[in-house]
Each structure stands twice: as C-alpha cells, then as structure tokens.
Amino acid sequence: MKIFISFFLFSILIFAQSPVEKFTAQAKAKLNNDGSGKQLVWIYFADKGNTLEKYFAEPLNVVSEKSLKRRSKYLPKESLIDFTDLPVNQIYVDELVKLGFQLKQKSRWFNSVSGYSDAKIANQISSLQFVKKIDLVAKLHKTYETPEADGTNSPELVPQPEGIHIYNYGNSFAQLNQINVPALHDLNYNAQGFTVGVFDAGFSLLSHEAFGNMNIIAAWDFVNNDSDVGDGSDMGSGSHGTNTLSTIGGFRQSKLIGPAFGADFILAKTENTDSETPVEEDNWIAAIEWADSLGVDLTSTSLGYLTYDYPFVSYTWQNMDGNTAPITIAADLAVKKGIAVFNSAGNEGYNATHNTLGAPADGDSVIAVGAVTSSGTRASFSSVGNTPDGRIKPDIMAMGSGVTVASSYNTTGYTTSSGTSFSCPLAAGASAILLGINPNLTPIELRDMLYNTASNSEGPNREYGFGIINVFAAYQSMPLPVELVSFNATVNKNIVELNWATATEKNNLGFEIQRAIIKDGDILSSNDNWVIIGFVKGIGTTITRQAYSYVDKSNNSGKYHYRLKQIDFDGTFTFSETLEANLNSLMEFKLNQNYPNPFNPETNISFRIADKMPVKLSVFNILGEQVSVLINRIMDAGEHQIKFAVGNNLPAGIYFAELNAGGKTNVIKMNLLK
C-alpha cells in the first residue's frame, strides 16, 4: 500500500508541474495510472515551421503526379495540395527524440507523430512551445473473425449458367452475381489502370495461384516498418489479408475471381495480430497518407476500432459520430482528396437501442459495407447503425457469409470465410470497376450512384442501409463518357483525317471536334485556344464497339492539337486526351496499347510508321525472353494492325510487345489471362 501511495503521489507531482491542459483526459489518466510505463501517444504540433512555400511551389515534392491528377476531380488546379499535405517539421521530431520519445509514425494530415512515452517524458514534451496536444493512440483487440452460429457459413451455391459469361467463376460466382459483377466483366471491364489499396493484417501467401497475375505496385508493413507484408520473423500474421486480397482481386478460372482483378494494387500491413498486442489506428493513418502520396484511387479496409485496452474505455457507440476518432477524420479527409474509402461496417451484430459500428465506418464520406447471406438476408453478425447524428449506416450491403477466398496455407487451395471483412472487398472491388469506366467520378458521386441503384434505395434503414449493390444498374445509370480505345491522326498533303473507336457507348449524343494550334513550341491548350471545327453524330445507346472519322481540310502548315468533346443526351460531357498532328510531315511513329487487355485467347496490336521501312514486332515474357515474332519485314507508311493469338503454350502473366522501326523502339505491356 505504501508503494502504491508513493507512486500515486509521484504521478500527481509530475502532472502538477506540467501544463496539463495539453493532455487529453484519456492520456492523463493512462499516464498517471502506469507511471513510468511507456504508453503509445499522439503528439500534435502547433505548426509546421516557416519554410512551407517550397512545397506549394513544387507539389511533386509532396505527392505523386497520379495523386495530383486524382485530386483534380475535386480541387482547383492551384489548390491541389494544402497545409495537411506538407510534412511535419523534422526539427520538432528530433527534439522529441532527444527527450527520450520513441517515434512510431508520422502524420502529415494531423501534423502529429505517434510513439512511446512515459509520464516524465510526456510532461517534458508538454512544456515545448511547438507542442499543441498529447493524446492516446486508440487500440482495439481483434474482432474481425466471426464464428457463425446460425448456419449461414455454408451458403447454397448458385450454379453459374454455362456459356453466358466470359469467365468461369467457380464457387465465387454467387458472391459476384449477387451484386451483378459478371455483367460488367462481360463488357471487358475489370478496373484495369485503376489503383486499389488494401489495408489489412499483412498478406501471408502472395505466392498463391490466385495472385499469379496480380500487379502489386507497392507494399509496406506499418507494424514493423519494413517492405515485407508477408509472414516473416517479425510481428503479425497475414492470413486474414490473404483472404481479403483474394476476395477483391484474385484470379483463377473455375476457382475464384475477384471483381477488380485487373487493377494495380497497393498493400499495407496495418494490423498487428499478435495476441498480446492490440490493433493501433496510427498505422492505418500512416498507411492512407502513404497510399495517397502514391496516387491510390480507392481503399478497402476490413477492420474497425471501438475500444481501448481494458480498463480504459474510449470510443463508445456515442463516439461513432464521424468527428471523434482520428482514423475516421483521416478517412473523411482522404475522400476530400479524391480517394474512395470503403470499410467493413463491423461484426458486432444487432442492438435494438444503438449502433454497433467501429471507426472509421462512421465517417460521413466513408462507405460502410454490411454483410448479407447468399440469399440476400442480413447476416446476424453484421453491425447496424445509425450514427448518433442520424445518418444511415451501414451504407450498402454485399455477401459476407460463406464467401469463397484463397487459402492462407495452401497455394492452390480455396475455402470459405464470413464477416463484413469480405463483404467490404466485394463491394469495393465492384466499385473500382465503375471508377475505372468513368475515372471522372468523385467518390461522393460513386457513393450516390450505388445508393440509388441498390436493393433498398426506396427505404434505407439501420440494418440494411441502402441495400445490396447492383453495379451493372449503377453502370447503366451513369452519364458515361464514351471509352476511346483508339484516337489517331493521318496526315496527307496538309489534310488531317481523324479516326477514333469506342469500346462501348451509353447516352452518346455525339462528338464535337476541336483544334488548337501550337506556336513557337508552346502548346496553347487552354479552353480559350480551342476552336470547334466539326461535329460527328453518335450512334446513341448501343453497347458494342463503334468507329468514327472526321477529315479536316482547312489547315496550313504547322503543328496542331486535336481533341474530342463527347456529349451525352443529358448535356454532360467529357474531353478525350489531346492528339498532335504535324502538317509538315507524315504521322508519327507509335505503338498503340493492345485491345482487349487483359486478353485470352487473342488481342489486337496496332501501330503506325511515318515512312516505308523495315519493321519488327516481337513479344517477350516478363523475364525478357522472346516468345514470338509477329512481323519482320519492310512495310509501307501508315496504320497497321495485327492479331496476336496464343495457344496452350504460353502461361498466363505479363508480356511485352516491342516495335522496332526506323531506329525507334516502342514497348507496351499486355496481360494474358487464363
């Protein structure tokens, strides 16, 4: 008892001597209780120093070009970055470390750092002028695995009709068919060119056959601060991440197909699954900032935060208001920067009097996904809303009971798992296809489109949200821009013939052809410099590939830019990329992207050359080995196209087509699926 009293007085003395107003009540209580024990805390800074203009002058020093392009959907060109994007002041961080603070994560968005500190060090830190606030980092013991007691873990398998869809989904057909994904896959949509971030407890078996064609462009372990997101010798097991990643983007014919199998993936290990260590939300915040800087378009997270370690209760259902948990604030901020954020609603089940959500599912801009069975009824474990301020939660539903996933232990095995952990990647992956079709959609426009076409849109409620999504119906509701698969210019004696083709059409009124001149090497491409030179009527509302052309005969010598303004029947429009034509010479040398891509069993490769010359078109595998020579002869100037057909001799994977002509070389990447 004397020891306890002495320790208690010591703690009181420490905090009596410090400016306690900088400590939150939770931080003060935790540090007081544990005394010399180190706690994981947030240190918030008052500013970011005085040398900030250099970042605003060069935004690419802060985030990637892809991130800036994504942000342009929301933000004016001159405001693509703001104060939240600037790095924390390293001098401030160094001062904390000198005092004994053990740094864990940095947060640009919150202008803070997380790390370990005892009461004495925290008191010294609070006296620093540049420190604004000290708080605890929220923790949550694992609750993502939900045993099923109601018999829904073995769903009735929905057989796939033979000969209707282009892919064989195997046992994953039911989970995709329920949200109408196969109908989009049949139109060759699969989120190709789109970047998806998956945040989970690591990914233990990336050698699984379902990931054989997956394009993983970045990966980081925020638990152990290294690049290995698998199961190494450090903390955490990634079986859950393997399951969720396969759900969103795996691909193995007749076994499992994820809705967004053609996307580029960013993987973040944010959760420590070691039993003695709870989940920490600062890892997720660091991961979303990192993914944003790389240009991620959409994130899927199958975890949530509700309570601190016993006995310090923090978040309650009343705190699920969209404005309390730092992870929720970060998630909403990510949406403001143009990232679509999907999160599991939670596996806490039903409560008649209040919500059972876990942050950041409570965010007003976060799309919280609840779970249904294969028959469409709400799974008993799926968390319910609404938020304390009256917002509908969950937002949408997808299958989360008996979902087919890749095995975490066998590279050719498959199993079933249950939880909103799996309804989330299904909904997120399906939505990634929609954003891939129309990249100009903002996350809020995407969310509203899902709401309006979901099964419960007429009467959303706290158990079912807006209902089971229907991504094909959402696609049909889009004022879609026509998807150009080619846009080329042929020049002959100062006459320019423009040719373009579309993969599909929807609500297409027609194309306005616009031209801008390039003078003295400057590209005068602002809207004021474009001149309308013609209009080509659209086909209407067909869903088959269409070809168009327009001849411009009114040009003098010089260089010109052309673009297409595609106009829909409702008056909305979108612009194509610009195309340059040099009227002093023949067309440029170019190898176009193959179509379709990914492909199986054949694809078309087109190119153009300026003069009659020897041409060699070859195909190489990812190891640089030549697998085919498609052309090796003298060819005339102009546009050319050749079909590349594969038999059973080539395995699925990434291949490269290389065009050599006139001393120039172009290369494209192709994705063969089997």
DSSP 451-478: HHHSTTTTS-BTTTBT-B--HHHHHHHS
Q: Measured in whole angstroms, how far is the alpha carbon of residue 512 from the centre of its chain?
A: 32
634 vs 31: CA distance, rounded Å: 78
Write the class of the CATH domain 479-585: mainly beta
Going by pLDDT thresholds of 50, 70 and 90, the confidence category of residue 96 is: very high
Kindly state the percentage of the chain with pLDDT values over 90: 47
Instruction: Place 505 in a pLDDT band, splitting at 50, 70 and 90.
Output: low
Report residue 395's pLDDT band, with 50, 70 and 90 as the boundaries: very high
Over 70: is that where the pLDDT of 14 sits? Answer: no
Question: What residue spans of 51-210 are helical by DSSP H?
Answer: 53-57, 65-71, 90-98, 119-126, 173-177, 181-185
Per the model's pLDDT, the better-predicted residue between 31 and 17 turns out to be 31
Tokens of 8: 């208690």
Please give the residue that has the higher pLDDT: either 663 or 11: 663
With 70 as the cut, is the pLDDT of residue 13 above it? no
pLDDT higher than threshold 90 for residue 439: no
Q: Which of 126, 246, 365, 421 is catalytic?
A: 421
447 compared with 278, residue with greater pLDDT: 447
β-pairing, 590-591 with 602-609? antiparallel
Highest mean pLDDT among 90-94, 528-532, 589-593, 642-646: 90-94
Average pLDDT over residues 183-211: 91
Confidence tier at 506 by pLDDT (50, 70, 90): low
**According to the model, what pLDDT value does residue 109 have?**
96
Tell me which fold the domain 2-48+87-137 belongs to.
Answer: Alpha-Beta Plaits (3.30.70)
Residue 344 to residue 364: CA distance in whole angstroms: 14
**pLDDT score for 544:** 56
Distance (Å, whole) CA 430 – CA 432 = 5
Is the pLDDT higher at 309 or at 398? 398
Task: Given the residues 165, 185, 240, 561, select the one marked as catalytic.
Answer: 240
What pairs with residue 563 in β-bridges? Answer: 514
Which residues are paired to 269 by β-bridges? 200, 221
Domain spanning 588-674, CATH class: mainly beta
Clarify whether 421 is annotated catalytic.
Answer: yes
Lowest mean pLDDT among 221-225, 448-452, 466-470: 221-225
Q: Kindly give the pairing relationship between strand 367-372 and strand 396-399.
A: parallel
For the cut 80, the answer to whether the pLDDT of residue 589 exceeds it is no
| Integer-rounded Cα radius of gyration of the chain | 28
* pLDDT in the model for residue 12: 44
Q: Give the span between the Cα atoms of 340 and 344, in whole angstroms.
A: 14
Handedness of CA 37, 40, 44, 45 (dihedral sign): positive
pLDDT band per the 50, 70, 90 thresholds, residue 264: very high
Separation of alpha carbons 394 and 366, rounded Å: 10
* pLDDT score, position 263: 95
Does the annotation mark 200 as catalytic?
yes
Terminal alpha carbon distance of the chain: 71
| pLDDT confidence band for 1 (50 / 70 / 90) | very low
- pLDDT, residue 101, reads 96
| Closest by CA position to 69, among listed 333, 294, 299, 365 | 294
Split at pLDDT 50, 70, 90, the class of 152 is very low
Confidence tier at 558 by pLDDT (50, 70, 90): low
CATH of 170-477, one of 3.90.700.10, 3.40.50.300, 3.40.50.200, 3.40.220.10: 3.40.50.200
Q: Which residues contact 208 (CB under 8 A, 6 or more apart)?
A: 242, 246, 250, 406, 407, 411, 412
Question: Does the pLDDT value for residue 368 go beyond 60?
Answer: yes
Instruction: Please state, as a whole number, how many other Cβ atoms lie within 10 Å of the Cβ of residue 19.
Output: 11
Predicted local distance difference test score (pLDDT) of residue 482? 60
Which has more confidence, 395 or 158?
Answer: 395
CB 328 within 8 A of CB 355: no
Quote the mean pLDDT of the chain: 84
Residue 151: per-residue pLDDT: 40
Which of 31-40, 213-222, 526-535 has the lowest average pLDDT?
Answer: 526-535
pLDDT of 93 strictly over 50: yes
Instruction: Judge whether residue 229 has pLDDT over 80.
Output: yes
Query: Which pLDDT score, from 0 to 100, does residue 55 have?
Result: 86
pLDDT score at 518: 62
Examine the pLDDT at 520 and tell me if it is beyond 60: no
How confident is the model over 335-362, as pLDDT tens digits?
A: 999 999 999 999 999 999 999 998 999 9
38 vs 255, which has greater pLDDT?
A: 255
The full 3-state SS of 332-383, as one line of letters, equals HHHHHCCCEEEEECCCCCCCCCCCCCCECCCCCCCEEEEEECCCCCECCCCC
**Residue 493 pLDDT exceeds 70:** no
Among 70-79, 150-159, 346-355, 587-596, the least confident range = 150-159
- Tell me which of 85, 118, 200, 292 is the catalytic residue: 200
User: Minimum mean pLDDT among 240-249, 361-370, 535-544: which range?
Assistant: 535-544
Lowest mean pLDDT, pick from 26-35, 148-157, 321-330, 441-450: 148-157
Measured CA to CA, the distance from residue 310 to residue 140 in angstroms comes to: 10
Provide the 10 A C-beta neighbour count for residue 440: 12
588-674 shares the fold of 479-585 = yes
Confidence of residue 291 (pLDDT cuts 50, 70, 90): very high
Confidence of residue 596 (pLDDT cuts 50, 70, 90): confident
434 neighbors 253 (Cβ within 8 angstroms): no
Q: Can you give the residue ranges of every domain in the chain?
A: 2-48+87-137, 170-477, 479-585, 588-674
Reference 222, options 303, 297, 144; nearest CA is 303
The yes-or-no answer on residue 640 being catalytic is no
Banded model confidence at residue 501, pLDDT cuts 50, 70, 90 = confident
Q: Which residue has the higher pLDDT, 123 or 568?
A: 123
Mean pLDDT within 44-52: 89
Helices (H) and strands (E) in the chain, counts: 14, 33
